[in-house]
Chain A
Amino acid sequence: MLRYTLSRLVSVIPTLLLVMLITFLLVHAAPGGPFDNERTLPPEMQARLQAAYGLDQPLWVQFGNYIGGLMQGDLGPSFRYPQSTVNELIGDAAPVSLLLGSLAFIVAVIFGSAAGILAAIRQNRATDHVLMTVAMTGISVPAFVVAPLLVLLFAITLRWLPASGLSTPWHFILPVFALALPTAAYVARLIRASMLEVLKGQFIRTARAQGLSSRTLVLRYALKPALIPVVSYLGPAVAALLSGSVVIEQIFNIPGLGRLFIQSALNRDYTLVMGLVILYSTLLVLLNLIVDLLYAVLDPRVRYR
């Protein structure tokens, strides 16, 4: 187990280096620079600006410097907001996205599991059909369609909930729900399928023969093995929440990482874009690793060498 963990940790390094290299090259191959939007500067000013940010050096030196900084946790200065560093900008936005994301994650897992279990117990009955149709809708219909419709209904027409910002707990309801829906739907489908599989098992028949109630049977015996496929989905689920929050933050005007990413990309704020892509990739790769390890803990049949 320890050896497996270590070898997986090592294999993460080339992936992350590749991410950095691709992002770096893409950004530098792009036509147009961060200083294009300003009034046309005199050539010597432009040269001095370029030199100040190290843009006059050969590409591989720039890449080396960047990696060097990264090793010390320094993502460099922002091109667009000269008074702040990328670290500061990300530091300001990250807690907001983190809070939103974790709330959505919790909501998705709880509601998704409940719906999935219920649908499995009532297989092929009305409850099952209704829940699974809702789940299919949640998967098919994107957040940027669901979210505005929710705002239209609950904020504009009914005036029950606020439409944008995050100042009170009430403000969290719509964005968290919109963000959680696709993940919850996916979890529900997974749990239903694996629950049906588990309920066919011999140990369930034995338990039933001993006269255990359906509730104990499902919650105490069937739930744990049924959860295993969900665990392997958690990596992609977090990825979905990350990219979903790009849209949700845009719609609800929430100052998180997603909105920062779109703004930085539109502004051609090279260092900020790179910092964010690297942050997202690292998160994703590490979470996938954790999920794989968790898998082994939950399912005694899985053994890593």
Chain B
Amino acid sequence: MMVAADRKALGWQAWYAMRHDRLLIVSATLLVLIVVAVIVGPWLTPHSYQTMDLSAVLISPQWADYRWFGTDDLGRDLFARVMHGGRVSLLVGIVSTFVSLVVGVLYGATAGYFGGRVDHLMMRFVDILYALPFMFFVILLMVLFGRNILLIFVAIGAVNWLDMARIVRGQTLALRRREYVEAAEMAGASKRRIIFRHIVPNLLGVVVVYATLTVPQVILIESFLSFIGLGVQEPMTSWGALVQRGTELMSIAPWVLVIPSLMLAVSLLCLNFVGDGLRDALDPKDGHR
């Protein structure tokens, strides 16, 4: 009884806090706009993202001929490229976060539920992995095994599950002492069933908040790789790859740098604000922002 009432109060409080966090609302709205634009965008323009047109090189942004964002040094339409690159960046962000989420939740929940020696061994392993300079391993992986997009997902997901595993383990340690878990144990449910049916669903709140904060990190890693030339390859593109191209052209065509930079920056900023806002809303203690 008590627990249910508390949770209701907390949920209401969270909703109240969220509705009154203007920053969160503005960021979430912007984010939805960007996602919709990126999905719909490529159909709005008559230009393709990969067709080169040497008669239309480095056009500055203008209304005429639907060149809203101008063109790059190969005459490719920048609006189409930014929208297409956004699809790739956001997709990498979501898929890799999902990979790290699945691995991290399973690992953390298992360690936390079994506890004792299993937990100790599993978390020692995480500690050792934490000490490795993963950014350099990801770079090495991309260089050595070709630059395909599947490898990007896996490499980034493999880097990011560690934090998730730690957080989930901590939560699980608290959850496994709860009455309903003990009840399930008494009723003879298998360990597997308890983890999947009773523990994991109750972790979702924390996991969702943390995942919102993982997406911008992942997009950052992908764009970092693309920026140093190890991410997605031509003719495919992403915001990081577009920014890289922009740095080479910035003295003659600043818009090729500024537009993708702004898109990337605004998206990352909004994602972080939303993640922070959600965390503050679910955490009744003082905010970090």
Query: A45-53, A71-79, A142-150, A212-220: which one contacts chain B?
Result: A142-150
Q: Could you say which of B145, B250, B254, B268 contacts A140, with CB atoms under 8 Å apart?
A: B268
For residues 233 through 271 of chain A, which have their beta carbon under 8 Å from a beta carbon of chain B?
Answer: 239, 242-243, 246-247, 250-251, 261-262, 265-266, 268
Q: Does A152 contact B132, Cβ atoms closer than 8 Å? A: no
Q: Does A247 contact B145, Cβ atoms closer than 8 Å? A: no
> Closest residue to B276 on the A side, CB-wise?
A136
Query: Using Cβ atoms and an 8 Å threshold, which residues of chain B touch A277?
Result: 133, 136-137, 140
In the complex, the 4 A-B pairs of residues with the closest C-beta atoms, listed nearest first: A30-B144, A140-B268, A148-B247, A265-B143
A36 to chain B, nearest CB (A): 13
With contacts defined as CB atoms under 8 Å apart, how many contacts are there between chain A and chain B in the complex?
124
Contacts A193-B288, A247-B224 hold; do A148 and B144 have CB atoms under 8 A apart? Answer: no
Contacts A15-B131, A142-B223, A251-B247 hold; do A26 and B228 have CB atoms under 8 A apart? Answer: no
Q: Does A145 contact B265, Cβ atoms closer than 8 Å? A: yes
B214-229, CB under 8 A of A: which get 1 and which 0?
A: 0010001001100111
A267 to chain B, nearest CB (A): 9
Query: Using Cβ atoms and an 8 Å threshold, which residues of chain B touch A261?
Result: 136, 139
A96 at interface (Cβ–Cβ under 8 A)?
A: no
Query: Using Cβ atoms and an 8 Å threshold, which residues of chain A touch B243?
Result: 144-145, 148
Q: Could you say which of B128, B144, B224 contacts A15, with CB atoms under 8 Å apart?
A: B128
Query: Using Cβ atoms and an 8 Å threshold, which residues of chain B touch A64?
Result: none
Known: A136-B276, A145-B265, A151-B250; 20 extra A-B contacts, CB below 8 A, are: A26-B140, A31-B145, A136-B272, A137-B269, A140-B268, A141-B269, A144-B223, A144-B243, A189-B288, A193-B286, A242-B133, A246-B228, A250-B228, A265-B139, A268-B144, A277-B136, A280-B136, A284-B131, A285-B131, A288-B131
The interface of chain B, by Cβ under 8 A from chain A, is: 128, 131-133, 135-137, 139-141, 143-145, 216, 220, 223-224, 227-229, 240, 243-244, 246-247, 250-251, 254, 257-258, 261, 264-265, 268-269, 271-273, 276, 286, 288-289
A14 at interface (Cβ–Cβ under 8 A)?
A: yes
The interface of chain A, by Cβ under 8 A from chain B, is: 14-15, 18-19, 22-23, 26-27, 29-32, 132, 136-137, 139-142, 144-145, 148-149, 151-152, 156, 189, 193, 196-197, 239, 242-243, 246-247, 250-251, 261-262, 265-266, 268, 273, 276-277, 280-281, 284-285, 288
